[in-house]
Amino acid sequence: MKIHEYQGKALLARYGVRVPRCLPATTVEEARAAAEKLLAETGGSVVVVKAQIHAGGRGKGKVHKGPNVVARGVEVCKGGADAARDAAWRILGGKLVTLQTGPEGRVVRTVLVEQGVAIARELYLGMLVDRDTRRVVCMASTEGGMDIEKVAEETPEKILKVWADPVTGLAAHQARWLGFQLGFTKDQTAKFVPLLGALYECFTREDCALLEVNPLIVTVDGELLCLDAKVSFDDNADFRHPSWAELRDPSEENATELKAKEAGLSYVALDGNIGCLVNGAGLAMATMDIIAHCGGSPANFLDVGGGATEEAVTRAFEIILESPQVKGIFVNIFGGIMKCDVIATGVINATRKLGLRVPLVVRLEGTNVDEGRKLLAESGLAITPASTMFDGAQKICALVRGT
Ligand code: ADP
Ligand code: MG
């Protein structure tokens, strides 16, 4: 689960990490008032208006309104509160296209109005779980700013790494080593060590999957400040963080995935065109593999689970039927705890409601298989039965190719 920059910065601030003064705004007037407040409080003359979307690359990204490019995703405003108002007017409601959003872009609904800071150096800091070492890896680079992806690709040696011990945490000597490598003065290193410790504390306590500060800056006064914050949480830990519900922005999430989540289904949207309804994560993975093997491409991963009710199965099938990209459906069920007649009833219910506009291949095996097959046979639906998983995959791929 991703959160916005302004939420990430508020989280970091709670751990004692220094971030610039900033205020989120959802309307043009709010943005002007925020800028006025920040300018008065800081005595500065520059504010920065930043589009809040769940994707990076905003600084180089372009905000589109109709056929026109009206702003960048990050606008530096030197003309006081009125300039900030104007920037917010251009950005809000526009479609921001960055390297990370894809060409369709994202609609901007919130901006962050931030104190402009005088930057001496831009550095990169990031933390994530390294599966190879099973530790949190802390990465840093002197090449911070807007081209870090290029640095990682072309000169990976410029990304420094230290791995935190899961028991004792990130050690001060590791942070000092990084600080030295980053070329900090003694004074700056003394600030960097607790800053990195606080970030690590935040990462582990908040169950982050990714915590990225790009750039971490050195101001012209030699202070360290987190100028950007990209935080995403590990969804598997959401049961112990009720507060995440408030941080969620449904408009940034995949609508179908959200609907599936509400129905208690494990669903991941993919970019193919064969909808899959499967029980068990292992079988779901194998089904995607065999579809690919037969030359097709799955539209989703969907595990209805072992104990799914008729309603959940109905909901699952509705989600597949509603996806415009789906050109064929493969139901692949091995009934163990899940009963084949429950699946059949769910498929029939959903189809009665929404109709069936694409080919449907069904392979049922296991508990109550005869009842399930009978229900489907008597339903009047145009179903292509399959005897095995391979047979089913071949059939659905051929049908989709033919349509
Ligand atoms: P993104 O990573 O999405 O491009 P950032 O928040 O990193 O967005 O901003 C892009 C660039 O804009 C930064 O690298 C920095 O140079 C500049 N910038 C961002 N916030 C400020 C600020 N408060 N003051 C001055 N410059 C800023
Ligand atoms: Mg950034």
Q: Average pLDDT in the 146-172 region?
A: 93
CA distance 172 to 327: 56
Q: What percent of the chain has pLDDT over 90?
A: 83
Per the structure block, which two tokens stand in for 58?
């905003």
Q: How many distinct structural domains can be found in the chain? A: 3
Quick one: 184 and 101 in the same domain?
no
Q: Is the pLDDT of residue 3 over 90?
A: yes
* Number of CB atoms found within 10 A of residue 166's CB: 11
Long-range contacts of 20-24 (CB under 8 A, 24+ apart): 20/114, 20/115, 20/117, 20/225, 20/227, 21/114, 21/115, 22/112, 22/113, 22/114, 22/115, 23/112, 23/113, 23/114, 24/52, 24/110, 24/111, 24/112, 24/113
Q: Which amino acid is at 274?
A: I
**Position 248 in a domain:** no
List strand residue ranges (DSSP E) for 164-226, in order.
208-219, 224-226
What tokens were used for 198? 């606080």
Q: Whose CA is nearest to atom 24 of ligand 1?
A: 116
Question: Which 3 state secondary structure label does DSSP give 169?
Answer: strand
Q: Are residues 361 and 380 in the same domain?
A: yes
- In a domain, residue 296? The reply is yes
User: 267 an active-site residue?
Assistant: no
Same domain, 372 and 292: yes
Residue 12 inside a domain? The answer is no
Mean pLDDT of 22-38: 98
DSSP assignment of 227-269 equals ---EEEE-GGGGGG-TTHHHH--GGGS-HHHHHHHHTT-EEEE
Supply angle C-alpha 324, 326, 331, rounded to 5. Answer: 140
Q: Of ligand 1's atoms, which has the minimum distance to the CA of residue 61? A: 4
State pLDDT tens for residues 310-367. 888 888 899 998 888 999 999 999 988 889 999 999 999 988 888 899 999 999 999 9
pLDDT tens-digit profile of 366-387? 999 999 999 999 999 899 999 9
C-beta of 229 in contact with ligand 1 (< 6 A):
no
Tell whether 174 and 79 lie within a shared domain: no
- Integer Cα distance of 41 and 211 in angstroms: 29
pLDDT digits (tens, 9 = 90+) for 59-83: 999 999 999 999 999 999 999 999 9
How far does residue 123's CA lie from ligand 1's centre (Å)?
12
Rounded to whole angstroms, the Cα distance separating 377 from 391 reads 19
CA–CA distance, 75 with 48 (Å, rounded to integer)? 6
Q: Cα of 124 to ligand 2 centre, how many Å? A: 9
Maximal C-alpha separation, the chain: 79
Catalytic, 200? Answer no
The residue among 243, 212, 236, 240 whose CA lies nearest residue 226 is 212
Marked catalytic residue, from 30, 122, 124, 318: 124
- Ligand 1 closest atom vs CA 59: 4
Q: Are residues 206 and 168 in the same domain?
A: yes
Q: Which atom of ligand 1 is nearest to the CA of 5?
A: 6
CA dihedral 313, 318, 319, 323 (to 10 degrees): 150
Whether 85 is in a domain gets the answer: yes
Residue 250 identity (one-letter amino acid): P
In a domain, 103, yes or no: yes
Instruction: Assign residue 352 the CATH number of its domain.
Output: 3.40.50.261
Which pair of tokens denotes residue 260? 């599936």
Whose atoms come closest to the Cα of 58: which ligand? 1
Question: For position 403, what pLDDT does the model report?
Answer: 56
Ligand minimally distant from the alpha carbon of residue 143: 1
Residue 189 has pLDDT above 90, yes or no: yes
Residue 7 confidence (pLDDT) above 60: yes
Q: Which residue has the tokens 């079988």?
A: 283
Are 67 and 187 in a shared domain?
no
- Cβ 146 under 6 angstroms from ligand 1: yes
Tell me the mean pLDDT in the region 44-54. 97
Residue of the nearest CA to atom 19 in ligand 1? 227
Among the candidates 177, 208, 240, a domain finishes at: 240
Express each pLDDT in 84-120 by its tens digit: 999 999 999 999 999 999 898 999 999 999 999 999 9
59 lines ligand 1 (CB under 6 A): yes
In a domain, 7, yes or no: no
Full 3-state SS string of 334-351: EECCCCHHHHHHHHHHHH
Q: Give the 3-state secondary structure of residue 97.
A: strand
Domain range holding 299? Answer: 254-401
Q: How far is residue 237's CA from residue 233's CA, in Å, rounded to a whole number?
A: 8
Q: Looking at the domain assignment, is residue 259 inside a domain?
A: yes
Same domain, 271 and 228: no
If you average pLDDT over every residue of the chain, what do you get?
Answer: 94
**289 located within any domain:** yes
Ligand minimally distant from the alpha carbon of residue 96 = 1
Q: Is the pLDDT of residue 390 over 80?
A: yes
The verdict on 264 and 281 lying in the same domain is yes
Ligand 1 test: best mutation among 52, 74, 108, 121, most atoms within 8 Å of CB?
A: 74
- Find out whether the beta carbon of 122 lies less than 6 Å from any atom of ligand 1: yes
Tell me whether strands 119-130 and 95-97 are parallel, antiparallel or unpaired: unpaired
Residues 153 and 63 in one domain: no
Q: Check whether residue 263 and residue 391 sit in a common domain.
A: yes
Vertex 174: Cα angle to 171 and 180 (nearest 5): 145
Q: What is the CATH number of the domain that holds 217?
A: 3.30.470.20
Do residues 65 and 191 both lie within one domain? no
Q: Which tokens go with 246?
A: 């408030």
d(CA 349, CA 189): 64
Q: Which of 91, 115, 139 is the last residue of a domain?
A: 115
Which of 227, 230, 231 has most ligand 1 atoms within 8 Å of its beta carbon, as the pocket-test mutant?
227
What CATH number does the domain containing 109 carry?
Answer: 3.30.1490.20
Q: What is the mean pLDDT of residues 295-322?
A: 89
Q: pTM of this prediction?
A: 0.82
Last residue in a domain, options 75, 98, 115:
115
Give the residues across from 65 on adjacent strands.
68
Q: Domain check: are 191 and 142 in the same one?
A: yes
What's the CA gap between 248 and 2, in Å, rounded? 8
pLDDT of residue 177: 98
